[in-house]
Amino acid sequence: MSQPKKTIVVTGANGGLGLAVVERLLSEGHRVWGHYHSRPESLARFPEDRFKALRADLTEPAAAGAMIERISAVGPIDALVNLVGPFEKTPLAELTPMAWQRDLTLNLNTAFNTIYAARGALLRSRGHIVNFTYAGVENIKALPEATAYAAAKAGLLVLTKSLAKELAKEGVRVNAVAPGWMMEVGREGARGEEIAQNLPSGRLGNPEEVAEVVDWLLNRSPAYLTGANIAVGGAWEF
């Protein structure tokens, strides 16, 4: 039996993972609103009849609210996928207060701002929220070259679980997807091979594999599944 078609909002849609998620959801016949902050060129590949790109600075609560209001004016929102969250390596000795605030803002506050703005719409549709953490985030350990990023993602996981518990009675599900080392720009060739040698799976992951999990969560996972953090890391996280 075919699944009902949904309207899904994807933030950070123009990144490597974002593009894969959008492409997968569109291939399943869903309507997608893709958020970006800069560099929209990569989004031009998607069909305009089922995909709309929206620019917004989600670090600003008002901007997140305006974006969701614009989408809601067209119709219901069935799901929100929060993909904004850049990974930047910064040794702890070089981590300034400004860099700390930037990582927390981009990796945690943007998700909260968008969820806050979309909560009413998702309550009406009994929808689904999918946040993005990273493989291993539940195993609290030192990440000296990504301290702020790890702290922000740990906070996002707590937010995911808290919302899942609070919104379950309202019929809204909240889950997280946790990618491991992915094949992305800058990890081709020798660099990718070097990373892969230290991974149990012996290779980097593909963004399409992450997109497959997002699609499953939104369209085929059990209604009783909420508050989960699903790792797509090839066992790197253990």
- We report the CATH number of the domain holding residue 165 as 3.40.50.720
What confidence score (pLDDT) does residue 236 get?
87
Phi, psi of 11 (to 5 degrees): -90, 150
Per-residue confidence at 211, pLDDT binned at 50, 70, 90?
A: very high
In a domain, 86, yes or no: yes
Within-domain flag for 131? yes
Q: What residues contact 226, with CB distance under 8 A and at least 6 apart?
A: 164, 168, 173, 174, 175
In a domain, 237, yes or no: no
Q: Strands 51-55 and 79-82, how do they pair?
A: unpaired
Confidence grade of residue 189 (pLDDT, cut at 50, 70, 90): low
What are 24-73's pLDDT values in tens digits?
A: 999 999 999 999 999 999 999 999 999 999 999 999 999 999 999 999 99
By residue range, what is the domain housing residue 174? 7-232
Whether 219 is in a domain gets the answer yes
Residue 238 lies in a domain: no
Contacts of 3 (CB under 8 A, 6+ apart): 28, 219, 220
Task: Write down the residue that tokens 């518990």 correspond to.
Answer: 165
1: in domain: no
Give me 27's structure tokens.
């291939």
H helix or E strand, kind and range, residue 125: helix 110-125
Nearest 10 degrees: Cα torsion 63, 110, 41, 204 = -170
Radius of gyration of the chain (CA): 17
- Write the CA distances from 215 to 137, 153, 178, integer angstroms: 22, 21, 14
- Residue 2 pLDDT class (50, 70, 90 cuts): low
Q: Is 140 domain-assigned?
A: yes
Give whole-number Cα distances, 226 to 44, 116, 139, 180, in Å.
33, 18, 19, 21
Cα–Cα distance for residue pair 29/159, rounded to 1 Å = 30
* Exposed/middle/buried for residue 56 (C-beta within 10 Å: 0-12, 13-18, 19+): buried
Give pLDDT, residue 185.
60
Q: Is the pLDDT of residue 102 over 90?
A: yes
Mean pLDDT of the chain: 93
Which residue in this structure is represented by tokens 């508050």?
A: 227
Q: How many domains does the chain have?
A: 1
User: Is 34:22 a contact under the CB 8 Å cutoff?
Assistant: yes
Question: What is the token pair recorded at 158?
Answer: 């707590």
Q: Which residue has the tokens 């089922």?
A: 50
Give the long-range contacts of residues 158-163, CB within 8 A, separation 24 or more.
Answer: 159/108, 159/111, 159/112, 159/115, 159/131, 160/129, 160/131, 160/133, 160/227, 160/229, 161/227, 163/115, 163/129
User: pTM for the whole thing?
Assistant: 0.94
**Would 144 be classed as within a structural domain?**
yes
